[in-house]
Amino acid sequence: MMKMVIMGSGTGTNFDAIHQTVSEGSLSAQIALVISDKPDSLILSKARNHNYPIEHILAKESDKLLERLLQIAPDYIILAGYMRILSPLIVDSFPEKIINIHPSLLPKYPGIHAPQQAIEAGEIESGCTVHFVDTGVDTGQIIAQARVPILPEDTKESLHARIQDEEHKLLPEVLMQLATY
Q: In what order do the strands lie in the sheet with 98-102?
A: 54-56, 29-36, 2-8, 76-79, 98-102, 125-132, 142-149
Active site (catalytic) residues:
102
φ, ψ of residue 136 to 5 degrees: the values are: -90, 180
Report how far residue 19's alpha carbon sits from residue 23's, in angstroms, rounded to the nearest whole number: 6
Residues in the chain: 181
The maximal CA–CA distance of the chain, rounded, in angstroms, is: 49
